[in-house]
Structure 1
Amino acid sequence: MKIRVVQIWGFLMTVLGWIFVACTMAMEGWKIASVGGMGGSAVIKVAWHWTSLWRSCFTDSTAVTNCKDFPVLWSVEDYVQIVRALLMSALSVGMLGFVLSLLGMECTYIGGKVQSKYKKIYIGGCCHIISGVLSTSGYGVYAQYVYAIHIDPGPTGLQFNLGTPIFLGWVGSAFHITGGAFYLWSVCTPLCGGEKKVVVKGLPDPLQNKSTTSLSTVSEITSKTKLSSISELLSRLKEEDREMF
């Protein structure tokens, strides 16, 4: 497969993965728990508790939602701070990977010489893979916490489940890592193994051979003509000398 095609596929996958991860940070419903709906209730039939990285909300059966924003950074629970830090780091490293990859792609006319472009896209691919690993770790930390409170809900009795943003984020992380691997694959041979160069010697031009042959023939004819004319002059001079004596 051509290097340019592999790099374009890598670029599309990393862009898609980065967008997925960025969207999950703004999405609601990272963990969801339902209340009621079993045994019947005249007042509340079913309600939902759900939280994101930035606030916690409660939606009752009349679709009225009350939310409470999380307080300042240092007063948020530890696992939320860890997830935020991992996802923001992933987005930052991914952005650096985009800059290096655009400079190093074969279809762009910036980034210097060919070998320099290969090195840039290699580092960019590594940045995308690191970004995917960081975001995967962030979603893993959150999923582990949700699993723990699902097994042991505590005094609240709320059994939270994973929401859509977690799964969307894992898909985005997979796209990010795969795109970075495509970048590395595209320049693996030139950087690691070297490219085999085959030198093809050009075939002799028959027209050129004909011209050289004709030139040599003409030169031979002219040289023979000159020799014959000189010999004739010498013979005439000898005859004139004899007549004089």
Structure 2
Amino acid sequence: MSGLQILAFLSGLGGLGATIGATVSNEWKATSRASSVITATWVLQGLWNNCAGNAIGALHYFPSMLALDGYIQACRGLMIAAVCLGFFGTVFALVGMKCTKIGGSDKSKARIACFAGVNFILSGLCSLSACSLYAHRITSDFFNPMFVAQKYELGAALFIGWSGSVLCILGGGVFCFSVADCKKSQTNYVYKGAASHSHVPSYQRGRGQSVSQRPPPEYSSSSRAPNFDKNVYV
């Protein structure tokens, strides 16, 4: 069980790193070569900055305008929430794992580990929602024949964010299922012990009482009374 929790922790930690990398990346979308008039110039856009480059390789960074679209603001909030939840999930996982010496009793450590798993799952869902929303906007504009502005394609940051979200969800799910299996095994062990302890002595006591309380047939009063009556009448 400890090895399973270590794998879950590494999965959640890798997902957190991928989520942070996708959040700070400027390659959420890139210009499409098919619709670009000047092929020697390309533009990359992220959640925080826009990057323009040319064939020489020079990059010019400029911040995004304050009047951002609603989906960009939503993606910013979701990615920040994903990073925060993943960070707290990592901290709680370190405290709640069985191989660590902190966290208190096994019962309290199990609760902390389950809480860490929930944080990892929520982090993965936030990152997955942000990347999917951004990708949906890009694909909608790309395949819209009425959209005449510059079209973009999916950037590398989206695939990194999707990978991080999957790792976080897998790590959180393993944490939750490991804690559930541990509690189930402990409950079954206690139940079997109680059943064996209560069943065997009662069965032995029942046999002992039935044998000890059963009177011998030759000494019973009911067997002697009918014989005595018959002898008297005869």
Same fold (TM over 0.5): yes
Name the structure 2 match of 1:208.
Answer: none
Q: Determine the C-alpha separation between the residues in 2 that align with 1:30 and 1:127.
A: 25
- Contact 1:34–1:46 (8 Å) recurs in 2: no
**Aligned-residue CA RMSD in angstroms?**
2.2
Pick from 8, 29, 32 the counterpart of residue 31 of structure 1.
29
Match of 1:154 in 2: 147
**Overall identity of the aligned pairs, in %:** 27
Alignment of structure 1 residues 61-100 onto 2, 5 Å? 61-72=55-66, 75-100=67-92
Give the residue type in structure 1 aligned to 2:19: V
- Residues 37 and 191 of structure 1, relative CA distance in 2, 3 Å threshold: closer
Q: What SS is found at the alignment partner of 2:41?
A: strand
Does residue 179 of the first structure (1) align with residue 177 of the second (2)?
A: no
1:95-140 superposed Cα distances (whole Å, 9 cap, x missing partner): 2212221111101111111111111101111111111011100101
The count of residues paired between Structure 1 and Structure 2 equals: 190
Secondary structure of 1:112's partner?
coil
Gaps in structure 1 of 5+ consecutive residues? 200-245
Q: Is the contact made by 1:100 and 1:120 (CA closer than 8 Å) also made in structure 2? A: yes
Note if 1:127 corresponds to 2:119: yes
Q: Deviations over 1:170-214 (max 9, x none)?
A: 011101110111111211123356251577xxxxxxxxxxxxxxx
Query: CA–CA distance in 1 between the matches of 2:158 and 2:169?
Result: 17
Q: Is the 8 A contact 1:36 1:47 kept in 2?
A: no
Q: What SS class does the counterpart of residue 154 from structure 1 fall into? A: coil
Larger Rg, first or second structure (1 or 2): 1
Where do 1:144-223 residues align within 5 Å?
144-152=136-144, 154-156=147-149, 158-192=150-184, 194-197=187-190
Tell me how far apart the structure 2 counterparts of residues 161 and 196 of structure 1 sit (CA, whole Å).
56
Tell me which amino acid in the other structure corresponds to 1:101: A
SS of residue paired to 1:89: helix
Structure 1 CA distance for aligned equivalents of residues 156 and 101 of structure 2:
40
Equivalents in 1 of 2:99, 2:128: separation in Å? 30
Name the TM-score, length of structure 1 as normaliser. Answer: 0.71
Q: 1:16 aligns with which of 14, 17, 20?
A: 14
Task: Give per-residue Cα distances to partners, 1:31-52, cap 9 Å, x unaligned.
Answer: 11145899xx9xx553212211
